[in-house]
A and B are shown apart, each in its own frame.
Chain A
Amino acid sequence: MKRNLLTIIVGAVLVVIFVLLLFVFQVRQSETVVLTTFGKPGANPITDPGAYLKWPWPIQQVNRFDKRIQNFEDKFSQSLTADQQNLLTCVYVGWRISDAGEFLRSFRGSVPAAQSQLEGMLRSAKNAVVGKHPLSDFVNADPRQLKFDAIQTEIEQTVQAQLSTNAYGVELEFLGFKKIGLPENVTQTVFDRMKAERQVLISAAENDGKAQAQIIESAADRQAASTIASAEAEAIRIQAQGQAEAARTTLPVFQQNPELANFLLRLDALKLALNQKSTLIFDERTPPFDLFQHLPTNSPSQ
């Protein structure tokens, strides 16, 4: 009867496993479960992971929900800004099921249904918020005037408020612009404007180059002229200094006998004057030619 016992044990184990499969269910780390009894949701969703007991189908039923953040983005849609410009925007959101019971009631547990609801809400929130801002709030070089983050926050808060008012059991974790664009026909006018701006830049660069070059060159000329002028002034000063210095040292010497000094200087001047090719006409009486006067002559004069 030993073999019989083994068979009974194996059978019992199988029965236990089968019963467990019927009566036990798991909640995984990332899941929330709502038990429904004959279709009626239980009081509290089960959020802690582990193994739980239930009555087998069709008495109780397990409704599983992913409680992690889901990525979603809406369609690229057009809204009118406060300054009457058409702007296309697309936002991404991270949303999660915050209350599985409410989620089950609102969307019958369908994520696509929830997302299409969310998409509608995003669209109306975008229209409302974008309509309050001019285009310069979306693109601006001045960080104080750029309202990019503020606009995102406004949209997020609008949608979040609607979600909690309607008790959808859904909350937003984050929201941001994924795409911003202009309608197709507007891109063409933007291109025209950009082209005109480029032309302005081209001629500005050309003219600026010429003007700057001219400024640099004329400044250089002026500086060069003033350098030379001051060098000339310096030269005059140096020479005057030389004269003063010479006068200071030599005048006392010459003053010992001005007549001799005068005579010597005139002598020098004379030497200098006669250095070049010159013709002098002398009277006979001028020394040393006065010697001629006393030459004995043949002619019986005087």
Chain B
Amino acid sequence: MSDEHEHHLHEHGHDAPETQDAGSQALAEALRSSFAIVKVVMVLMVLLFFGSGFFTVGPSEKAVILRFGKLVGEGQDALLGSGLHWSFPYPIDEVVKIPISENQKVTSTVGWYATTPEQELSGEELPAGPSLNPAVDGYALSADTNIVHVQVTQYYRIENPLLAIFNFASDTNFAYSLAGVSNAVQNALNNALLYSAAHFYVDDILTRDKAGFQDAVRSRVDDLVEAENLGVTIGDCVVISVPPRQLQDVFARVTTARENRNKALLDAHTYENQVLSEAGARAAAITNQAEIARNRYVTVLSADAKKFSDLLPQYQSNPDLFVQVQLAQTMGSALTNVEKWVEPTSTGGKSTEVRLMLNREPPEPKTGGSTQP
């Protein structure tokens, strides 16, 4: 300090020898102290300059360093993970931070009718007009040139952050951000929505093949991000599709009619099952009856045969007597519950005349159910 003091005094003495008064002394004093302040500030600034090279990278961030504009490191090695890092201060190095969350999400913008955020929140919508205004109402055209509203939400992951920031501009101000890629994915999604709708029938999009439609959208987005080299990986996608509000009731009636048809078919199948099982049961009963009758017939006849064989020796020993005995026995037992009327033999060759009043009784209902062959 004293050195400089002398130097200043010398300078003053040399430049203005006749101003050695109190005023110039005060000035010299002021200059001296401000010089000291400047020196401290300079040291601080130098410290600050190098200290400003420290930066932290958050948990869902990556960072890259550009030295004189050129990327430091090669490929994925250039990406710095979370933690504390240091770089040369500007203008030598430039740190670019890239926010990378696990899953990015983008929603299509072209397939839905006009709603305001307030309406979406309250769930109420304005009544639909008779037509759709192309400036505000979005929709897709199906393969059968029907109008259908579709909204797709696509999840994706930034696989290559370097490609995302160094290959896609987000704006016209040279900034590095993921907005450019996000925009490109959204455009791919919109295109996929139109393209998929263009080769699906409206019923497939709305009801019959929703899963197929969703797959078509997803695979189209996949193809496009591959072709456009966006450096992202496509995840799930969620599709919402509705008929135009103007035609909602008539679409609902088609659904009802189809449900009714299915119900009619179901009823018919129930009837079918019932009739067939009844017929099957009846058929089984008929054949079983026939089996029973057959068995009975065969059994009875073989019993007869057995009886015949038993009686044959007796018969052969005296046929006449046998016949007489059998006949008498049979008559005896058979006639017990028969009304009998014995007509005396006419005498003297005169024929007798018998007159009967017949009042035929109805036959008793059969109880056994046995059919006589």
A contact set with B: CB distance below 8 Å: 2-4, 10, 26-31, 48-51, 64, 66, 68-71, 73, 76, 88, 92, 94, 111-112, 135, 138-143, 146, 148-149, 173-174, 176-185, 187-188, 190-191, 194-195, 197-199, 201-203, 205-206, 208-210, 212-214, 216-217, 219-221, 223-225, 227-228, 230-232, 234-236, 238-239, 241-243, 245-246, 249-250, 253-254, 256-257, 259-261, 263-265, 267-268, 270-271, 274-285, 287-289, 292-293, 301
Contacts and interface: CB of A to CB of B under 8 A. Distances in A.
Contacts of B323: 263
A22 to B, nearest CB: 13
Contact of A51 (B42, B69, B174, B311): B69
Given A50-B70, A238-B290, A284-B342, A274 B334 contact: yes
A220 B272 contact: yes
A225 B282 CA distance: 10
Contacts of A2: 3
B338 interface: yes
Contacts of A254: 305, 308
Contacts of B287: 231, 234-235, 238
Contacts of A182: 134, 141, 147
Most chain A CB inside 10 Å of its own CB: which residue of B110, B324, B331? B331
Given A242-B297, A280-B338, A71 B187 contact: yes
Nearest to A235: B290
A135 B330 contact: no
Given A180-B194, A199-B250, A66 B169 contact: yes
B246 A191 contact: yes
A28 B280 contact: no
B29 interface: no
A205 B257 contact: yes
B172 A66 contact: yes
B316 A257 contact: yes
A6 B42 CA distance: 12
13 contacts: A29-B166, A50-B68, A70-B180, A71-B187, A92-B191, A139-B143, A141-B200, A146-B143, A178-B190, A220-B275, A227-B283, A253-B309, A282-B341
A129 to B, nearest CB: 16
A231 B245 CA distance: 60
B77 to A, nearest CB: 15
A145 B100 CA distance: 41
Contacts of A66: 169, 172, 174
B275 A224 contact: yes
Contact of A243 (B94, B253, B297): B297
A216 B268 contact: yes
A138 B198 CA distance: 7
Contacts of B246: 191
Interface SS of chain B: helix, strand, loop or mixed? helix
A220 B338 CA distance: 52
A279 B338 contact: yes
Contact of B344 (A69, A143, A267, A284): A284
Contacts of B202: 194
B169 A246 contact: no
B80 interface: no
Interface SS of chain A: helix, strand, loop or mixed? helix
Nearest to B96: A29
Contacts of B342: 281-284, 289, 292
A115 to B, nearest CB: 9
Nearest to A92: B187
B174 A30 contact: yes
Most chain A CB inside 10 Å of its own CB: which residue of B228, B333, B356? B228
B327 A287 contact: yes
Interface residues of B, number: 131
A227 B279 contact: yes
Given A174-B227, A221-B275, A242 B295 contact: yes
A216 B272 CA distance: 7
Contact of A26 (B68, B110, B140, B191): B68
B328 interface: yes
A16 to B, nearest CB: 13
B242 interface: no
B131 A187 contact: yes
Contacts of B133: 184
B254 A188 contact: no
B293 A242 contact: yes
A10 B38 CA distance: 13
A239 B294 contact: yes
A19 to B, nearest CB: 14
B260 A205 contact: yes
A250 B134 contact: no
A245 B301 CA distance: 10
Given A139-B198, A184-B132, A283 B343 contact: yes
A146 B269 CA distance: 41
Contact of B199 (A140, A174, A191, A253): A140
B338 A49 contact: no
A279 B341 contact: yes
Contacts of A112: 172
Contacts of A111: 172
Given A139-B199, A201-B257, 11 more contacts: A139-B141, A174-B228, A191-B246, A195-B247, A198-B253, A220-B272, A257-B308, A278-B338, A281-B354, A282-B342, A288-B331
